[in-house]
């Protein structure tokens, strides 16, 4: 549990990155759904279908960078932060794509997500073990 509090900004940065990708694809998804007739669309509908997702994408990307910089400051090794942020981005993008956009779930993608999650487990768990070893050395 300690590793989750230590790496929380990396996880949140990955979530914001996935949100940025999600909102970036949303206008094309809504257009493909043909919710509106192009000749009858009003300015409000255009704003809701184009401008709002764009603004949310920009907000998510700025928040991603802010949390990523905080994660870099909190971790001792930058590689841990980068891997954690990228992996959480991939996993959340996969889940959002499958649930919202109806992207296909294949055996290969399921295996990939399993490998990513197991790698994250070992990475975060190894960081917690190293931290406890350093504390034990300081006490001696």
Q: Supply the pLDDT for residue 2.
A: 63
Q: Supply the pLDDT for residue 51.
A: 86
**pLDDT tens digit string along 75-125?**
888 888 898 899 999 999 999 999 988 889 899 999 999 999 898 888 777
Q: Supply the pLDDT for residue 76.
A: 81
Pairwise CA distance, residues 125 & 9, whole Å: 17
In the predicted structure, residue 132 carries a pLDDT above the cut 60: no
Contact 125, 50 (CB under 8 A): no
Mean predicted confidence (pLDDT) in 1-10: 75
Q: Supply the pLDDT for residue 119.
A: 87
Angle between helix axes 52-74 and 78-99 (nearest 10 degrees) is: 150
* This prediction's pTM: 0.77
CA 29 distance to own-chain centroid: 20
Domain range list for the chain: 2-139
Instruction: Select the highest-mean-pLDDT range: 21-30, 43-52, 89-98.
Output: 89-98
Q: Token pair of 27, please?
A: 């206008």
Q: Supply the pLDDT for residue 112.
A: 93
Per-residue confidence band for 136, with pLDDT thresholds at 50, 70 and 90: low
Mean predicted confidence (pLDDT) in 37-62: 81
Q: How many Å from the N-terminal Cα to the C-terminal Cα in the chain? A: 25
Q: Supply the pLDDT for residue 21.
A: 93
């Amino acid at each position: 549990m300690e590793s989750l509090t230590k790496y929380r900004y990396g996880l949140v940065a990955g979530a914001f990155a996935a949100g940025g990708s999600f909102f970036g694809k949303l206008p094309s998804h809504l257009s493909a759904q043909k919710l509106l007739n192009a000749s009858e669309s009003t300015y409000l509908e255009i704003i809701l279908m184009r401008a709002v997702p764009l603004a949310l994408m920009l907000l998510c990307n700025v928040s991603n960078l802010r949390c990523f910089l905080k994660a870099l400051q909190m971790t001792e090794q930058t590689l841990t932060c980068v891997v954690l942020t990228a992996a959480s981005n991939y996993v959340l993008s996969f889940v959002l794509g499958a649930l919202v956009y109806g992207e296909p779930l294949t055996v290969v993608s399921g295996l990939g997500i399993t490998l990513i999650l197991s790698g994250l487990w070992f990475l975060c768990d190894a960081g917690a073990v190293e931290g406890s070893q350093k504390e034990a050395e300081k006490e001696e």
